[in-house]
């Protein structure tokens, strides 16, 4: 109508062609629901953390702020992993597995992005913080439940390992990459293995 055309013009809107209103809104509802189900993080918040990480790395006097940023995100992730979204019980299905993987990736994204920056522009002093994260999220206490969900619990550590490792590769920091891969982790029954022996995709139990 003329009124609708006038509103579109005044608001600098765009006309979207659709087959039917019912189909359009059903698709829109499905996309919004999928976004909510995946528990996606606010991209603006993540970009702000990435920017802060770069700024803190640029000056040694911001070392404490950088440690606090990493610590805050680690505590936030730890709390998330204790919520019902990450319960170890239930009836297994492909849908449950895909949903759980998506939840892990969304929850871990801030730390992965931060550690990627540390790998790309760090100096090596950050390695201890990285290995602490790998131990915290890669070595989980014994618990009952579905085996596949139990094994998935270390997925955040796998993502952090690859995020930091890819940053190291981009910076050609091969010596630090070797230190990362060979760092010892104490696993179940006090046995010791390397980071790469515990969390690399070919050796990780959840792989």
Q: What is the pLDDT of residues 87-142, one digit of tens each?
A: 998 888 999 999 999 999 999 999 999 999 999 999 999 999 999 999 999 988 87
For the ranges 24-28, 36-40, 79-83, the one whose mean pLDDT is highest: 79-83
Banded model confidence at residue 64, pLDDT cuts 50, 70, 90: very high
Q: Which of 10-19, 22-31, 32-41, 198-207 has the least mean pLDDT? A: 32-41
Average pLDDT, the chain: 85
> Which residue's entry shows tokens 């919004």?
32
Q: Distance between CA atoms of 114 and 3, rounded to whole angstroms?
A: 50
Phi, psi of 193 (to 5 degrees): -140, 170
- Looking at residue 29, its pLDDT comes to 55
CA gap 196, 182 in Å, rounded: 7
Neighbours of 1 (CB within 10 A): 6
* pTM score: 0.78
Q: What is the largest CA-CA distance in the chain?
A: 76
Tell me: pLDDT of 31 over 70. Answer: no
Q: Residue 15, Cβ neighbours under 10 Å: how many?
A: 8
Which pLDDT score is estimated for 34?
Answer: 44
pLDDT classification of 183: cutoffs 50, 70, 90: very high
Give pLDDT, residue 113: 95
Q: How many angstroms separate the Cα of 169 from the Cα of each of 51, 97, 112, 145, 158? A: 21, 30, 15, 37, 16
- Structure confidence at residue 115 (pLDDT): 96
What contacts 125, CB < 8 A, 6 or more positions away? 63
Distance CA 92, CA 100 (A): 11
Cβ–Cβ < 8 Å for 152, 158 = no
Dist CA 30 CA 9 (whole Å): 29
Tell me the β-bridge partners of 192.
Answer: 186
């Amino acid at each position: 109508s003329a009124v609708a055309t006038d509103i579109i013009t005044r608001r600098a809107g765009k006309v979207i062609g659709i087959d039917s209103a019912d189909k359009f809104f059903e698709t829109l509802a499905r996309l919004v629901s999928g976004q909510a189900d995946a528990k996606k993080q606010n991209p603006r918040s993540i970009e702000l953390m990435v920017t802060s990480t770069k700024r803190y790395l640029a000056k040694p006097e911001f070392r404490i702020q950088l440690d606090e940023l990493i610590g805050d995100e680690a505590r936030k992730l730890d709390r998330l992993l204790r919520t019902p979204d990450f319960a170890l019980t239930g009836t297994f299905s492909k849908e449950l597995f895909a949903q759980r993987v998506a939840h892990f990736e969304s929850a871990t994204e801030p730390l992965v992005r931060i550690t990627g920056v540390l790998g790309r522009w760090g100096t090596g002093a950050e390695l201890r913080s990285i290995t602490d994260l790998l131990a915290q999220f890669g070595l989980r206490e014994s618990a009952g439940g579905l085996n596949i969900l139990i094994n998935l619990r270390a997925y955040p550590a796998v993502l952090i390992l690859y995020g930091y490792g890819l940053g190291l590769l981009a910076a050609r920091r091969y010596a630090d990459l070797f230190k990362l891969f060979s760092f010892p982790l104490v696993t179940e029954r006090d046995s010791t293995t390397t980071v790469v022996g515990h969390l690399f995709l070919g050796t990780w139990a959840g792989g």
